[in-house]
Structure 1
């Protein structure tokens, strides 16, 4: 067992407690970009369900950056290739080809989690692997239990926020009204309002100021000067 620093202990506890509040896909997204991100910084988290033979049955990528469908597919394919490498490496959490990987396997199948761009170059890979090992049961339990998974949807269709929603949020963050955002994006002010309502629901907020604040905290948009 690797000793944790006081800050790591705090982050682990925060991640575990936060995981118990996951009841919807938006909850999982916010958890992955909040408590999990604080403990294990990453650009993209790929979650994959594995069959009894270890083959990937389905997968999805969680990320705050705007990625197109081809980029999402690429991450998912890389994660699929990491599954046999993880088994060959002793079925332990570790960095494989620059990706932090761990899986939960049982007789009937399991799940695999791949964190891309983690750990950072200066990070202790063994320490990052140990932290992922601690959180694996929570990732496994809460991702597999998520409702309304879009079976058969194109890669990226299940992402938490669309590119247009993030675009709207960025313009709102610099003080643009719904009408002004609509003119910039070539859509109606009513459509902008609809995008904002979906963003509010996603982020668990009730107004545009809260949405901008939460969006900055989750790095969905940059901090404005």
Structure 2
């Protein structure tokens, strides 16, 4: 039995509340880079839709970086392998960690190592008439365990419905919402520092300005992009190819 701390309960509630109405890939991407990161921090999320035979009919990779074709192809092959291995087991959250490979996903170890990610946490839905789904979180900053699998179980319905509701990338091209105004060179430089994981103080030192000035710039950036925090701002700029 998993007993959540008060902070975990708060993170879970915020993640659920903000995930109820996800209806396109853009909002799903922003959700994974904001609320979901607070509960299950990860580098990439692979969202798979499966047919009745367990074959992958759709694959969406949500990643802060822009991956090239070879990387996407590798993740697609790894996703198909993970889906087959996961469905062959008890259909509970499963973990694969190259440092301690074991369990039903152990056969996927070679492709996981080739992908460069440290670990993967996998969970999905049972076979459903409208399409089963599977979600793989790559590169958690710690070895995922039963607690993190429990979080993914609780959030699976929201991930499942969001993927089924969201049109694919091909049908959503050309509908990316633009900022209220163009971002300045200084603002983009600050966002580059944020993307690199620098604090306001560190960004200020790199750019020769104060931490307070960095904070004020960030508030203006949030308004221009229509986002609420640093992770959302970086995600939006990557989506818009501004970084």
User: Which TM-score band (shorter chain)?
Assistant: 0.5 to 0.7
The secondary structure found in structure 2 opposite 1:174 is helix
Tell me: CA distance 1:51–1:146, structure 2 relative to 1, closer, same or farther (3 Å): same
1:130 aligns with 2:150: yes
Q: Which whole-Å CA distance do the structure 1 matches of 2:185 and 2:147 have between them? A: 35
* 1:66 counterpart residue number: 66
Q: What does 1:25-174 align with in structure 2 at a 5 Å threshold? A: 25-97=25-97, 98-108=119-129, 109-118=131-140, 120-121=141-142, 123-147=143-167, 149-150=169-170, 172-174=187-189
Q: Which whole-Å CA distance do the structure 2 matches of 1:100 and 1:131 have between them? A: 11
Q: CA deviation at 1:10?
A: 0.8
Q: Which runs of 4+ in 1 moved over 6 A?
A: 168-171
Q: CA deviation at 1:171?
A: 6.4
Q: Verify the 8 A CA contact 1:65 1:220 in the aligned structure 2.
A: no
* 2:180 counterpart residue number: none
- Alignment TM-score, normalising by the size of structure 2: 0.63
How many residues are paired up?
178
Once superposed, what is the RMSD of the aligned Cα atoms?
3.1
Q: CA deviation at 1:73?
A: 2.0
Q: CA deviation at 1:173?
A: 2.1
* CA distances 1:187-223 after superposition (whole Å, capped 9, x unpaired): xxxxxxxxxxxxxxxxxxxx756357867333728xx
* 1:210 counterpart residue number: 223
Structure 2: state its 5+ residue gaps. 98-118, 178-182, 191-219, 236-243
* CA distances 1:78-137 after superposition (whole Å, capped 9, x unpaired): 11110121123311012135210001122434000000012x33x551111111011001
* CA distances 1:135-175 after superposition (whole Å, capped 9, x unpaired): 00110011111135427x9xxx89x89xxxxxx88864238
Tell me: CA distance 1:169–1:72, structure 2 relative to 1, closer, same or farther (3 Å): farther
Tell me: CA distance 1:148–1:5, structure 2 relative to 1, closer, same or farther (3 Å): same
Q: CA deviation at 1:24?
A: 2.9
Structure 1: state its 5+ residue gaps. 162-167, 176-206
Tell me: CA distance 1:128–1:173, structure 2 relative to 1, closer, same or farther (3 Å): same
Q: Verify the 8 A CA contact 1:64 1:219 in the aligned structure 2.
A: no
* 1:220 counterpart residue number: 234
Q: Which whole-Å CA distance do the structure 2 matches of 1:42 and 1:169 have between them? A: 30
